[in-house]
Amino acid sequence: MTTQIVGRVRWSAERRFYFGMALAMFGVVYLGFARTFFLRPLFPDFPAPAEPIFLVHGVAFTAWLVLLVVQPLLVASGRIDLHRSLGRVGAATAMAMVVLGLAGAVTAARRATGFIGVPIPPLQFLAVPIFNILMFGSLVTLAIMKRRDTQAHKRLMLLATVNLLAAAFARWPFDFAKGGPPVYFGLSDLFIVALVIWDLSTRRRLHPVTLWAGLATIVSQPLCLAVSGTWPWLAFAHWLVGSPG
């Protein structure tokens, strides 16, 4: 279906930009999770979560990224009816991702070995996925509320997805991507930089969504790291995972 849609799209600069951003995000996730999800049979000895919830989460995450790629194409090809129908599917998928993301983070934090490949204590690191998934859910909710405002809607959808990319960058098979959360966040924020450049080159100013949602995403990253080592957070994390205080 995607091939047929692409063939009918009128490729304006704006459509090329958003479609390219969506494809790039898909590529980031595919490369990051190839060994543990997409191409798992080819890497049987590579460490990967054994709990079934992560398989379900991977399917939901993949569905979200496919929708992120297909939805702009539907609008550009005049299939507004199908775009709206899939929009409802996307909203349900986003809700499922929030639930699965939170449940998966708690599941990982409960392991005796903590998060796979993460040397940070699990209750402390738990702040990272929880902040990310809550930011994702918040921005998707705003995007749904702003669905009639095309420019705001598409920016919110992209920026919501930026909050999910750190986990993929953390799993990239390159040395430069192994520098811990600041590196994962910095790589994810390159998508915000691209959106800023797009706004400045086409509008001569930042769209309010780019400014405020982008700023909120960037601020949330050091904030979660600062909060993660505090006693209120650790007490909350102990309660959340059911660990003895």
The whole-angstrom distance between residue 191's C-alpha and the CA centroid of its chain comes to 11
Question: pLDDT at position 226, please?
Answer: 96
Cβ–Cβ under 8 Å, residues 73 and 5: yes
pTM: 0.91
* Residue 66: exposure state from Cβ atoms within 10 A (0-12, 13-18, ≥19): middle
- Backbone dihedral region for residue 204 (phi beyond 0: left; psi -120 to 50: alpha; all else: beta): left
Cβ–Cβ under 8 Å, residues 106 and 241: yes
Q: What angle do CA 182, 186, 190 make, to 5 degrees?
A: 170
User: Phi/psi at 58 (nearest 5 deg)?
Assistant: -60, -40
Going from N- to C-terminal start, the domains of the chain cover: 2-241
Question: pLDDT at position 245, please?
Answer: 45
The candidate with the shortest Cα–Cα distance to 106, out of 216, 236, 245, is 236
239: its two tokens: 């309660």
211: its two tokens: 């400014």
The whole-angstrom distance between residue 79's C-alpha and the CA centroid of its chain comes to 26
Residue type, 63: A
Q: What is the pLDDT along the chain (245 residues), one digit of tens a residue?
A: 454 554 455 678 888 899 999 999 999 999 999 999 999 999 999 999 989 999 999 999 999 999 999 887 877 777 777 877 888 898 999 999 999 999 999 999 999 889 988 889 999 999 999 999 999 999 999 999 998 999 999 999 999 999 999 999 999 999 888 888 889 999 999 999 999 999 999 999 999 999 999 999 999 999 999 999 999 999 999 999 985 44
